[in-house]
Amino acid sequence: MPTRILLVEDNPGDVLLLRQKLKFIEGWSYELGTAASLGEGLQKLSEAPWDVVLLDLLLPDSSGFKTLEAFIGSESKVPVIVLTGMSDRTTAVKALQQGAQDFLVKDGLEPEILERSIYHAIDRFRLLQKIKDEEERYFLVAMGSHDGLWDWDLRTDRVHFSANWKKMLGFEETGIGDKLGEWLGRVHPADRERVWKDLSDHLAGKTPHFSNEHRLLGKDDRYRWVLARGQAFLDQKGKATRIAGSFTDITYHKNMEQQLALRAFYDPLTGLPNRPHFVESLKRAMARLDRGPAPPFALFFLDLDRFKAVNDQMGHQAGDQLLIEFSQRLKSCVRPSDLVARIGGDEFTVLLENLDNRREALEVADRILTASQVPFLIGRKEVKAGASIGIAYSDCGKAGIDGLMQAADAAMYRAKALGKGRYEIFTHGGPGGQKGMKHAS
């Protein structure tokens, strides 16, 4: 069955661009529907089943996270991938927290990244939906029947913990006593004050029920995430006499949330920081220079010289393996404090901070060029790739982050134009003037 994609985008140019990117994905059957407004998108969502929604947050009749909320809150259960022209870290995190399955920046979006994002979003959403449905069913049928139960008698200050509660933490039936400290004493120090406040507020009648997510220390000295729920029982004077509830182990869900958050700022193929992550790091480096005297830094733009040939002749899987191998070599050529990122396709960046002198950056560039000339073993075949590097120093950053990145990019293209397998340094008069190691492609 073809994958049914609903694109909610009011910019005809972006619609056309995305159509073209989808066409570049080989061996994939899909149907693409489009909507140019929030109202039209929700209408189409209600009229037919869709596998995934690609959503621009800025529409003629809605903007920002209200757009996302409308789709997440619709009766149609469908994963949503946010498409945006901005590479803003805060926006990405908030979109994921509000239920988006992924966050993609339109600029430089590669077909293979779009394909992976759609497949992963659909699979992940179905898994989460299945888990959510099961959790609701268990809770409604028998609250706590598969969870840990607890019952705190406020008059005697004793707490009954069920066998499942103890088993959740790795203890036998007799391994935990009946004091409140058996629970609160195991709460992670960073969560303890919040747990006690939520408990106290509910017992004081400030909240209708108790609900809190926190970490508990198990017998194996590892913390597990739990969702604690509870309801207080009042006497005739309205005073709480006991509170009972359940614990649900949500470690898996928390780990998944962290993975989704990481996905917003790390390249899923190589594990390197992605463009939004790199831009944020570059902003911080430039801000330190703006605050006063600081050691200079260098920005590298790198491009594999024969990546397209490998992709075309050996297939995308071989291309992916080449990117992974190159990223590992790249990391081995820099200091632990330096930042290496993949910003799209076969384009990489390196941020070298706290330089003693410019020669230090050129030594790193020479190491990278040397490493890139060593043949890569892709499958059982040796492949020569090579790389071209553009270098811009921090004193080129007076035009801002975009200007600095454009300078390094221009220097890289100059290196490719002059024969590849070399580096070029951007000067205020333009790229050029410095030669790195040469290699015949």
Domain boundaries, given as residue ranges, for the chain: 3-140, 142-254, 265-431
For the chain, give the number of residues. 441
User: 305, 346, 356, 395: which one is catalytic?
Assistant: 346
Confidence of residue 397 (pLDDT cuts 50, 70, 90): low
| Cα–chain center distance at 55 | 17
Number of Cβ atoms within 10 Å of the Cβ of 311: 19
| DSSP bridge partners of 42 | none
Rounded distance between C-alpha atoms, residue 85 and residue 89, angstroms: 13
DSSP code per residue over 247-258: EEE-HHHHHHHH
Helices (H), 222-350: 251-263, 275-291, 307-314, 316-332
Please name which of 154, 138, 133, 129 lies closest in space to residue 246, comparing C-alpha atoms.
138
Question: Are the C-beta atoms of 162 and 149 separated by less than 8 Å?
Answer: yes
Please name which of 415, 296, 419, 436 lies closest in space to residue 364, comparing C-alpha atoms.
436
Stretch among 26-35, 134-143, 153-162 having the lowest mean pLDDT: 134-143
Q: How confident is the model over 191-217, as a mean pLDDT?
A: 94
Say what the pLDDT of residue 111 is.
Answer: 85
Asked whether the predicted pLDDT for residue 138 surpasses 50, the reply is: no
SS3 content of the chain, % helix, strand, coil (to 5): 45, 25, 30
> Residues near 76 by Cβ (< 8 Å), separated by ≥ 6?
45, 46, 49, 50
Give the fold, CATH level 3, of 142-254: Beta-Lactamase (3.30.450)
Copy the structure tokens of residue 355.
């330089």
Number of Cβ atoms within 10 Å of the Cβ of 126: 13
Confidence of residue 429 (pLDDT cuts 50, 70, 90): low
Asked whether the predicted pLDDT for residue 201 surpasses 50, the reply is: yes
Copy the structure tokens of residue 251.
């470690």
Say what the pLDDT of residue 366 is.
Answer: 95
Helix (H) or strand (E) holding 423: strand 423-427
CATH architecture of 3-140: 3-Layer(aba) Sandwich (3.40)
- Residue 21 backbone dihedrals phi, psi, to 5 degrees: -65, -40
3-state secondary structure of 18: helix
Question: Are the C-beta atoms of 226 and 168 separated by less than 8 Å?
Answer: yes
Copy the structure tokens of residue 125.
């959403």
Q: How confident is the model over 373-398, as a mean pLDDT?
A: 88
Q: What angle do CA 417, 435, 304 make, to 5 degrees?
A: 50
Q: How far is CA 273 from CA 65, 210, 309, 339, 370, in A?
A: 25, 39, 25, 8, 23
Copy the structure tokens of residue 10.
């009011």
Say what the pLDDT of residue 146 is.
Answer: 62
Pairing type for strands 376-378 and 381-383 reads: antiparallel
Q: How far is CA 60 from CA 32, 39, 254, in A?
A: 21, 10, 35
Percent of the chain with pLDDT over 90: 47
Q: Please determine, looking at this structure, whether the domain spanning 265-431 carries the CATH number 1.10.8.80.
A: no
Say what the pLDDT of residue 293 is.
Answer: 80
Active site residue 235: no
Rounded distance between C-alpha atoms, residue 22 and residue 110, angstroms: 10
Rounded distance between C-alpha atoms, residue 197 and residue 75, angstroms: 35
- Residue with more model confidence, 26 or 112: 112
Q: How far is CA 53 from CA 68, 82, 425, in A?
A: 10, 8, 43
Rounded distance between C-alpha atoms, residue 186 and residue 192, angstroms: 9
Say what the pLDDT of residue 329 is.
Answer: 94
Asked whether the predicted pLDDT for residue 140 surpasses 90, the reply is: no
3-state secondary structure of 91: helix
Q: pTM of the entire structure? A: 0.47
> Could you read off the pLDDT of 333-371 as tens digits, one per residue?
999 989 999 998 999 999 999 998 889 999 999 999 999
Which residue type does 25 have?
I
Asked whether the predicted pLDDT for residue 258 surpasses 60, the reply is: yes
Indicate the Cα dihedral angle 302, 305, 310, 312, nearest 10°.
Answer: 100
Stretch among 142-156, 177-191, 280-294, 413-427 having the lowest mean pLDDT: 142-156
